[in-house]
Structure 1
Amino acid sequence: MVSGSNDSKTPPIVSLAAGGVAGAIEAFTSYPFEFAKTRVQLRSQKGIPTPKNPFLVITQIYQKEGLSALYKGCSALVVGSVAKDGVRFLFFDQIKHAFADPETGTLSPLRNLAAGMAAGVVASITAVTPSERIKTALIDDARNEKRFRGGFHATQTIWKEHGIAGLYRGFAGTTLKQASATAFRMGTYNILKDYETKHDIKQSTLVNFANGSVAGTVTTLTTQPFDVIKTRSQSAAGASTVEAVKSVLLDYGVRGFWKGTTMRLGRTVFSGGILFTSYEAAVKVILPLYEGTKHAVGVEPQ
């Protein structure tokens, strides 16, 4: 499990609800960094350098296009993040509990990573790929054709033109990214928590934030190529995974697969801390309500 004591299992409904709350908070607060990173990764005119400082990109977009531009596609990401992180925490908690050592309640580092990978695949299929496709298409469209009026209109248009396959454009890259990112993010976070539990390090908001930030850093550095491929695949025009890989190599060479690393690192360090801190806080609020409801109807909580 991600939260709670080692001898108790977080109920599935609590994991789902707390993960959804945490995902929404994380997605909204860190979205300008996500926007800047996506803009940098999308294909641009050759020979025109793209700044590596996320604050510079954000400032330039704000000055030229206004505050609303920095939140273009945000609603799609927030909705997707509620589903993504709800599912991700739900499945990770259940998988982690099933694989945990019955005596210590902990997992080996390898099993922590495997549990995160499985949760990432499920999240990609159920929520992440369609929401990321809409978000990326909106950001790309805003700088070119400007034919999408919003997230719902973009969804309708893509569905009408390409069917469900259009909403799952970039599925391979997204799933690879989600499987690896969830494995490293959830795995690293729980490895740190297990270490702290063994050494009697008291959990606090600061410790949770630090753990989440470390997990976010590890995740970014190890999974950036998948993120670049996913972004190219999910542009407004769309591209196959092979086409996306070829376009990155053509434009920037191998180094292009780490395009936007600084932008994403700025976001994941910040968002990783927010995500896990929000999740732990949400569990503390939701779990007593859940247990109270179960007692009220005469059923013992799980």
Structure 2
Amino acid sequence: MTIELEEPPLLQDNKQVIKDLFGGTVGGITQVLVGQPFDTVKVRLQSAPEGTYNGALDVIKKLIANEGPKGFYKGTLTPLVGVGACVSVQFSVNEFMKRYYNEKLNGAPLSLGQFFNCGAIAGFANGFLASPIEHIRIRLQTQTGSTKQFNGPIDCAKKIFQNNGLRGVFKGLPPTLFREGVGLGTYFTTYEALIAKELAKDKSIVRLDIPGWKLCLYGGLSGYSMWISIYPVDVIKSKLQTDSLTKPTYRSSLDVIKDIWLKNGIKGFYRGFIPTILRAAPANGATFAAFELTMRVIS
């Protein structure tokens, strides 16, 4: 299947790259503000010792009782800066690759496979940025009680580096690269397929005519497709990134897989799935809408 792509700017248009980065940054900041409470619940479910929580509602109750509503935004500074950067990389590399294919194909429409390649390359590139940012964020999100191990993102990064060096900062990189590559390939392909279907229904409109609410809807559905395709890998990554800095339980992703399987079976790979899916629609819908609408304003 091929999908018509509106005539993009020239591949070497540096101004367009800057615009893509800016649009992605706006999308990323929007994603954090909308999705952070869901993400905090997800991470605590994924990484807490067995028996700590009886599900997402139990996490929410205990979090409000012990930390108040602001607890949902624990560690927000890191993702606010980091996710803004990550999403700007995701969208700008994806848009760059779409322009690359458009020039290579002399304006012919891209296939679904080529859209997947665009998203997968964007995800792989983003993985090297996302891995340390998410590692720091997760360490901060899972801090509970009055005694804090880390006093903010900079202190967290320093202590990880002091204990484990650069390798420790990038702990969880292999599953992050896999998650980002497959996940964002699926993510952007789903979105482009939905946009193409919308344009095919009414030949009189172009992409710029699609209303914001539909961009939100298609972004939300794209978020569902992404998380369904890669969620177990995210659990493995979170387990690695919340392991002890001084006496780690896991040496690799394989150790995590064995441990989860022996303790919980297949359901262990889906801990925290419900808050993730609940987050997927609003967070990713807002991300795509913010990106597309920002690009319309600055183009």
TM-score category (smaller protein): 0.7 to 0.9
Measured after TM superposition, the shift of residue 57 of structure 1 is 3.1
User: Structure 2 length as normaliser, TM-score?
Assistant: 0.87
Change (3 A) 1:143 1:102: farther
The answer to whether the aligner puts 1:243 opposite 2:255 as a matched pair is yes
- Secondary structure of the 2:210 match is coil
**Within-5 A mapping of 1:1-302:** 6-9=6-9, 11-46=16-51, 50-53=54-57, 57-100=59-102, 101-104=105-108, 106-125=109-128, 127-142=129-144, 146-200=148-202, 202-237=209-244, 239=250, 240-287=252-299
User: Structure 1 length as normaliser, TM-score?
Assistant: 0.86
Deviation readout 1:69-109 (Å, 9 max, x if unpaired) = 211121111221111111111110011121235345x3211
2:13 maps to what in 1? none
Distance 2:26 2:288 in 1: 11
1:293 maps to what in 2? none
- Secondary structure of the 1:38 match is helix
Structure 1 contact 79–131 (Cα < 8 Å) conserved: no
Change (3 A) 1:233 1:108: same
Instruction: Give the letter for the 1:85 counterpart.
Output: V
Instruction: Give the letter for the 1:36 counterpart.
Output: V
Change (3 A) 1:49 1:250: farther
Measured after TM superposition, the shift of residue 220 of structure 1 is 1.3
Distance 2:179 2:44 in 1: 18
Instruction: Give the letter for the 1:196 counterpart.
Output: E
- Secondary structure of the 1:102 match is coil
Instruction: Give the letter for the 1:62 counterpart.
Output: I
Measured after TM superposition, the shift of residue 28 of structure 1 is 2.0
Distance 1:102 1:59 in 2: 56
Instruction: Give the letter for the 1:271 counterpart.
Output: A
Measured after TM superposition, the shift of residue 7 of structure 1 is 1.6
Structure 1 contact 112–191 (Cα < 8 Å) conserved: no
Measured after TM superposition, the shift of residue 123 of structure 1 is 0.3
Measured after TM superposition, the shift of residue 144 of structure 1 is 9.2
Measured after TM superposition, the shift of residue 236 of structure 1 is 5.0
Structure 1 contact 136–236 (Cα < 8 Å) conserved: no
Structure 2 contact 34–282 (Cα < 8 Å) conserved: no
Structure 2 contact 176–237 (Cα < 8 Å) conserved: yes
Identity percentage of aligned residues? 24
Structure 1 contact 141–236 (Cα < 8 Å) conserved: no
Structure 1 contact 22–276 (Cα < 8 Å) conserved: yes
Change (3 A) 1:214 1:237: same
Measured after TM superposition, the shift of residue 143 of structure 1 is 5.6
RMSD of equivalent CA atoms: 2.0
Structure 1 contact 40–260 (Cα < 8 Å) conserved: yes
